[in-house]
Each structure stands twice: as structure tokens, then as C-alpha cells.
Structure 1
């Protein structure tokens, strides 16, 4: 035999017996005036539910069978409803307890809000279990207007609401800060720059919560954020830059109201390690110089480099020029001078200057030439028969000239007694075993790429002397 289970459900209610937790206070009325009994400002009359019996100095109100609506709730909370600490997403409400709790202790408060743009009945409960007489309403929308109301709760029900007197706008009570002040760069490496700046003259009314740094590479319009979180100080080292690239930087301050206007951009700056070596570079190179014999000639150039280059002067490529009676060597900043005193034909040649930084060097070569006036053979030169005639002719020119000697239209270089020696400063004519046929006017053209230069020398030989 199989047994079964039977379940029976019966509902029942437990009611709290009625009781008076507070006796009504004594009331005074004018003689002859009827006594009135009110509930919730409504006049009570004798009926089947409420019996009112009047005696000489008191009345008796009898409610044979009480119901929930016979119990009075608390009065509303005591105003005004104060609103403080308003921000863009919250506001704090404060009030005082009800003056009359309706005979039952207030157990809490209901707080509601209404977005004024949603309509007159768009009340939304924020909390139904507030135990204090203050509450911060969260989750407001920035820039929206709100009304608020608070109701007291006891075991008899919910009181009438205490409402705010005017709409409140959810926003911060201050503005974003102004632009940061003077900026400068106090440190640089081959891939970083350290920025410094001054605080804004105006914080907008709220404390500054940090700074944002941006960079912009040369020839672009795009600003790129540098820091991923707000910088708390007024200096910041920008990392991950590319050496020899040009950058600008700017800074923006921020408070709880948001970011302010950015600062002016810094001067475009090339990122380079100031302590790194750079090869020498001649800003002003040596130039070919001309001078007058016996006078002073100055050779000048300008050279830069990091660290400051050591400079050496050379004559004829290998002979080093040093300070002394003949030369004055000076260095004034980037300017380098070599002063040749009492110049002679022996000083005519190539001069060079070398700038050295460790193993790096740069060299400049220059040709120095003089306008040295050759001796003028105004008078007739006399030689003995068989004596060699030697005439030295100084000239200016580089490279070496091509020389042709002729007499009476005939090329004398083919004469076995005639030789011509061309150096870098002079032409030397030698005529050996001279006789009377050597006498005459001898033109000697010196041919350069820029044209012909002619000078004439008279040679005379007298037989018997």
C-alpha cells in the first residue's frame, strides 16, 4: 500500500491592537461655541464608525472598529529643505525632523528628485531608507535642473512632502582654470626635454587637480598628448623624443570643472644633447688674399664645434705656423686670425687651417699671393762677353704659368744657350755665353688662363768689357 502526502495552505492575518500612544492635549473654546473634532483638518461627524459624545467639560470619541486610515501619519519634515555642495552630478540635501510624528516614531525618510525637463509628475525615488536628516543625491546630469522633496516615514505611513523652494542646476560652482604662465626648458638630452611652467593666474574658483602636456613635431599641426595621467607638479620631463627633430610643447591646467585653455606653444626647439660632440664646421672659410711686400696681411675664418675645436695653422701644407715674431695667432670666440707681419715673397704659398675635436677635424686651404712689384729695368744692363745674363721676374698667379721667350719674333727657348725656370713666385731667365747678337729688346709673355701678361727687359752686351 503506497502512502501519499497532502499539503493544505491557509492564510491568516495578525492585526496590531489599537492603542493611544499620546493623549490629546486640553483644548479651550469660547462659551457657547460648539466643540469641533477634526482629523487631518477635516471635521469629524457622529456616524456609524465614529461616535462623538459631548459632556459639560469633555467629549468622548469612540471608534468601535479602527482601520488603517484612522491612524494619523507624521507631519512633514521641518523646512527649509537646504541644498548644498552642488556639483555636476550630485547635491546634498538637509532638513529637520517633523514637529509632530503623529504619535509614532519616525523611522526614516523618503527622498525623491524630479528633472524639471521631464514634467510635473516625473518624481523618481532616490532612497526610501534614509535614517539621517541629510542625504547626498547622486547620478545627476550635468547642466540639468532638479526639484527635490523629502517625506517622513513612521508605522502609520508616509507624511506629506517637504519640497525645495526653487529648481537647482547640477553644475560645479566654479569654472575651468586659466592657461599656465611662463614656460621654459631647463634640461635636454638626446631624447628628452624638461619643461617648467608657472601656475595659471586664475584657478577658476576650484583647486587645480593636475596638468596635461602636449607636443607637436615641426611642420605638423597635430598636438599629441604626452602624459597619460595628470601631472601634479609644475615641471615635467618629456620622454621618447627623436634626436635632431624639432618640437613645440604646451601645457593645459585642469580642475574638477574640466580642462582650461592651453598655454602658448614653446619656441620650436631641436632635440640634441648639449654635451654631445659635434664635428667642426667653418662658418666663414679662408679666402685667397693679396698683400703688399713689407706690409701686414691677415687671414681670417670662423669655426664652431662642441667642444670648442683646437685650431692649427699650416704653411705649404705641412709647416705649422706658430706664434712668434713672424706670425700672430689669435682666437676670439669662433673667429680665428693669423696675422703675417712684414710680408715678403717667401711668404707666398698655400696656407691652411685645421680645426680638431678629438678624432674629428676639418681643414681649409687658401692661396696667399703678393702684389710684389718687380724691379724695373729702366736703364740698360751691361754684361761682358761670355757672361751669363740672369733676369728674375716676379709674378702673381696660380697654377704655374707657361712662358715663351722671343727676340725679334724668334723663339729663344730653342736656343741652347737660353733657359727659363718657372717657380711658384718668379720666372728666371738665363742667357749663357752672351755676345753682341744677344743685345736688343726681349719680350717675355707669361701665359695664364686669364690672359697674357707682358713685360720687357733690355739686355746689352758690349764687346771688350
Structure 2
């Protein structure tokens, strides 16, 4: 039996034997099967499911079960990492390996969702991570429900131009803003554009039809409550005659002629009748 040392882990080797006596060395014997040099023990399996123990506005405490398999060597401890939900980079929680199967991470932001993952380690190496099934959200400290600072005013605009509705609503945490018309939520796109800086909220409308006018509502919601304000959009349009007036009307002498005309416009137009170039005034013959 012969023991070789200082081999490279995960490298593949073959061996052969040469006999030697006082006369000399023999031809090498047949090569052995390939052998991969590795630790006879494995890394631990990933830790058990992670549970949430305590959640406050600035810290979260989690715990977990030991790995189902320790890889043949005792688990030396655990490493924990965390990140805000939606971020890609993980941050280390503990600077030194911990033997406890629970951990409290402080210094967190209130009303913010976090994710955690835990690694187990033995002498062979570190396991695959176990992640929290869902994000864990810290609680809100002293929050303020949305409050109205400036109501939405009625706005007038010319049909075909843009119109902007404005209001001021504040809250802590900053509320989510949604706009509605006729009880239906407005989706941003070619026609609608919404902006908000946490206090001032605007909705810009590219008007292209008379139906764009009406009552609009801005609704603000956070974890502490909600509030809303509404305002009307009035669209002004130049007078138009959708149906042209006939060129000629026929009637017998002494009979009554009624002439009907269809017109639109906003504000409501003032109607004036002309005979030739002369304005007609109400009389016995003209009503």
C-alpha cells in the first residue's frame, strides 16, 4: 500500500506500478481506472425552512431547522444574508459563523420588505442556501394617513388641446396615487400621463373627444389610511353645424315654414338668424 499526498482536489488521476530489484525496473503494469481526488465527506444539505419569529419597524428575527444531511461531518455553524425585495445584491448579516439556528437583523427601514437566506457549513464546505419563501415586511412606525392640502379645481380647456388636473396630498409613508374617471381607474398611455413628487400630483389629458370632459378623482392610499379629491374637466369647443342647412325651402304663400338646425358648441353658443345680411328679430312673422 502506498499513500500519495499533495494531490489537487477534484482532479482526475490514474496510477500504475513498476517493480524494481537489484538488476533494474520492470515494465509498468496496466494503468488503474481513473480516480477523482475528493474529500470522502460532502457539504451539508441546505438548512430547513425559514420561519419568521419577530417583526418590528426596524428589525426582523428568523429561525430555521438544521440541514437534513450534515454531509458526514458535524455542522459547524451558519451564515445569513439579506436584501431588500427587488434588489439583486445580498448583504452579509453575521461577520462570524453562528451556531444558533435563529438570527435577528437590526437597522432595517420601516414598512420595507426584505428577503433572507441561510447557509450551513461543515469542514468540507458551505451548503446551498435556503431562502425565505416570501418577503418579510417591517412594520410601519408612526404613520400618517393621506391628508388633503389642496383640492382639485375645475379645469377648462379647448377640445383637442391638453388639460392638466392638479391637487396636493401628503402622507407617511408616501401614499400610492391612482386616478379615476367615472369610477374606472385610469391607465397611463398615449392619452393620460400622471406625475407625483410625494406632495403634488398631476394628471395630463390629451383631449380628442367631448366625452373626455367629466368628473375626475385622485385617490391616495398608504398603510395608515386613504383620502381623495375630485374635480371637473370642462371642454370648450367652437360652434359647429353637424348637419348643413338646406339651400332652398319651398312653401306656399301665407303658410308657416319651420326651419330646424342642429348645432353644437361649449359653452352653449348664442344663435342668430339672418335674412340675407340682415339679422332677424322676433316679430309677428318671426319666432
- TM-score scaled by length of structure 2: 0.42
- TM-score scaled by length of structure 1: 0.28
**Structure with greater contact order relative to length (CA < 8 Å, sep ≥ 6):** 2
Whose strand fraction is larger, Structure 1's or Structure 2's?
1
Higher-Rg member (1/2)? 1
